[in-house]
Amino acid sequence: MSRRLVTAGFIAAIMAAPAFAQGVTQNQGITQPATPQPAETQVNQGLGANAAQREQRVQQGGAPQDTGTPMRQGQNASAPAQMGQQQSQADMQYVQQTLAAGTVSLQQSNFALAKAQHPRVKEFANFEVAEQNTLADVMRSFSEPSSTASTSPGARQAASTAPELPAADAAVMEKLSKAQPGAAFDKDYVAAQIDGHRKLLAVQETYMKNASGNREALNVAKLASGQIKEHITMLQDLQKELGR
């Protein structure tokens, strides 16, 4: 079995592993006190016993006795929400850009399956079709209800919508679709794949640098970046062999 196809399977499998690990971690070290004591009986002198005061403190997000923590008083309450919005936006951009670049590479490779003449060019196109289909499935799985809690709304929204292709990439696809089979097509296809893989690698590296809280997407980006680098090396060698 091809090493590339095995790695593609790992990319798909990584989606399930974090959820399992998360459940195990959450269940470790949980202990129950022998005689739980209701919070209302843990009296803190000076906080007042007035029921209205306690109710107000609860509405502000704290326990009836807790008024000393800024977050419990409503201060900085927007910080977690802002962080979540930033992560959601980063996840959305990552999924959209990965799907867009992958769609371009997939369609170019479909053309190559029908038109490529060089055996190694056709072989690479076969690998690329399989891997881009797998990566697209993984990206779109973020929109499924079974996705884990760390999958942000941004990732789910981006995965459920069709990617918007850049005009330059669409133009290259149109050129390849109209090209005649032969050596010229092989060279153009390989050159387009090198350019597309560099763009796709930049998407993965930018996302990893931003350190999003979406564990599943981050793991996919790590695995994908390694495969993309390998493909760039293969394509560059193939380009030399084709004489360009």
Q: Closest by alpha carbon to 163, among 151, 177, 173?
A: 173
The alpha carbon of 132 is separated from its chain's Cα centroid by a whole number of angstroms, namely 14
pLDDT at 156: 73
pLDDT at 235: 96
CA distance linking residue 193 with residue 32, whole number of Å: 58
pLDDT at 56: 60
pLDDT truncated to tens, each residue of the chain (244 aa)? 455 544 555 455 444 444 433 433 444 444 444 455 554 444 444 444 555 655 565 455 544 444 454 444 444 444 445 545 666 788 888 999 999 999 999 999 999 999 999 999 999 999 999 999 998 998 888 777 665 545 677 777 776 676 778 888 889 989 999 999 999 999 999 999 999 999 999 999 999 998 666 788 889 999 999 999 999 999 999 999 998 6
> In a 10 Å sphere around its CB, with 0-12 CB exposed, 13-18 middle and 19+ buried, how is residue 110 labelled?
middle
pLDDT at 148: 54
pLDDT at 125: 96
The full set of domain ranges for the chain reads 83-242
Query: Where on the phi/psi map is residue 118: left (φ > 0), alpha (ψ -120 to 50), or beta?
Result: beta
Neighbour count for residue 102 (Cβ, 10 Å): 24
pLDDT at 210: 82
Residue 140 · residue 18 · CB < 8 Å: no
CA distance linking residue 103 with residue 131, whole number of Å: 11
pLDDT at 228: 95
pLDDT at 46: 47
pLDDT at 184: 95
**CATH code of the domain occupying 83-242:** 1.20.1260.10
Q: Is the pTM of this model over 0.85?
A: no
CA distance linking residue 77 with residue 55, whole number of Å: 19
pLDDT at 97: 92
